[in-house]
Amino acid sequence: QQQVKQSPQSLIVQKGGISIINCAYENTAFDYFPWYQQFPGKGPALLIAIRPDVSEKKEGRFTISFNKSAKQFSLHIMDSQPGDSATYFCAASIERNDYKLSFGAGTTVTVRA
Amino acid sequence: DTAVSQTPKYLVTQMGNDKSIKCEQNLGHDTMYWYKQDSKKFLKIMFSYNNKELIINETVPNRFSPKSPDKAHLNLHINSLELGDSAVYFCASSHTLAGVGDTQYFGPGTRLTVL
């Protein structure tokens, strides 16, 4: 069964707007939460990652917010650009285990110019 | 220089055939993976090798057999192909298996179509 639930399945945002993707998990042993970005015809690539000892991490226009008590984390894309149009996957793993990434179902983001 | 490469990029074959997908990484990583991405883009790990040793084998039919001749290569052989095997298969690698937050680097994928 899917260990990480991701929503929405797709979203459309205007250039300059904010894209928000949410993920939820059940396994409290998860302690590493990366986001991967995938462009059509390409493999996923790590975008940004967070560990549960911080509540927020920002890299450029991309921010992860983490709520440990709610077992939820989200990706915010600020000032969305057409070049951000891609599928975004959240994931989770247990670092001291066998490092098996459990992926969410993915969110296709379309940024309209 | 391509970090993780896969061949072929596209593979179209008939049901019942046997096929192989090759993967090579030039990153000096110890760990390699195979993922399957279905038509709904869901990514699921199939296998993981660390220093040529099988570490993860996720409930994958035994028609799928990975082979790692050395640390830089992880090939996937599929016997008796079925329609449900149609998907995009990604190879990935990371520095270590249980490394703290190790980034996985993905190849470009192999789109397998079984007719």
Q: Which of A42, A95, A101 would you mutate first to test chain B, the one with the most B CBs within 10 A? A: A101
User: Residue A51: its chain B contacts at CB < 8 A?
Assistant: 101
pLDDT of residue B51: 85
- Residue whose pair of structure tokens reads 């703290």 in the numeric block: B100
Does the pLDDT of residue A96 top 70, yes or no? no
Does the pLDDT of residue B65 top 70, yes or no? yes
What are residue B34's DSSP bridge partners? B47, B91
Tens of pLDDT, residues B69-114: 999 999 999 999 999 999 999 999 988 765 556 788 999 999 999 9
Sketch out chain A's domains with CATH numbers.
Answer: 4-112 (2.60.40.10)
Residue B7's nearest CA partner among B86, B94, B73, B51 is B73
pLDDT of residue B55: 83
pLDDT of residue A46: 93
CATH number at residue B28: 2.60.40.10
Does the pLDDT of residue A82 top 70, yes or no? yes
Q: Which positions 3-42 of A are in contact with B (Cβ < 8 Å)? A: 32, 34, 36, 38, 41-42
Mean pLDDT computed over every residue of chain B: 91
Q: How many domains does chain B have?
A: 1
Q: Is B60 helix (H, G, I), strand (E, B) or coil?
A: coil
Range with the largest mean pLDDT of A76-90, B1-15, B88-102 = A76-90
Q: Mind giving me the DSSP string for B10-39? A: EEEE-TT--EEEEEEE-S--SEEEEEEE-T
Contacts of residue A84, Cβ cutoff 8 Å, sequence gap at least 6: A19, A77, A109, A111
Average pLDDT on A48-66 reads 94
Tens of pLDDT, residues B35-64: 999 999 999 999 988 888 888 888 789 999
CB B8 within 8 A of CB B107: no
- With bands split at pLDDT 50, 70 and 90, how would you rate the model's confidence at A43? very high
pLDDT of residue A56: 96
DSSP structural state of residue B104: P
Q: Is B40 on the interface with A (CB under 8 A)?
A: yes
Residue B58's nearest CA partner among B68, B45, B76 is B45
Say which of B42, B45, B101 has its CB closest to residue A100.
B45
Residues A33-72 as b or e (16 or more Cβ within 10 Å = b):
bbbbbbeeeebbebbbbbeeeeeebeeeebbbbbeeeebe
Whether residue B66 is preceded by a cis peptide bond, meaning omega within 30 degrees of 0, is: no
pLDDT of residue B97: 62
- With bands split at pLDDT 50, 70 and 90, how would you rate the model's confidence at A2? confident
Q: Which of A7, A99, A102 would you mutate first to test chain B, the one with the most B CBs within 10 A? A: A99
pLDDT of residue B98: 53
Task: Tell me how far CA of residue B82 lies from CA of B16, B18, B47, B59, B86, in angstroms.
Answer: 6, 10, 19, 16, 8
Residue A107's nearest CA partner among A2, A21, A1 is A21
Domain with B14, as residue range(s), is 4-114
Q: Is B22 on the interface with A (CB under 8 A)?
A: no
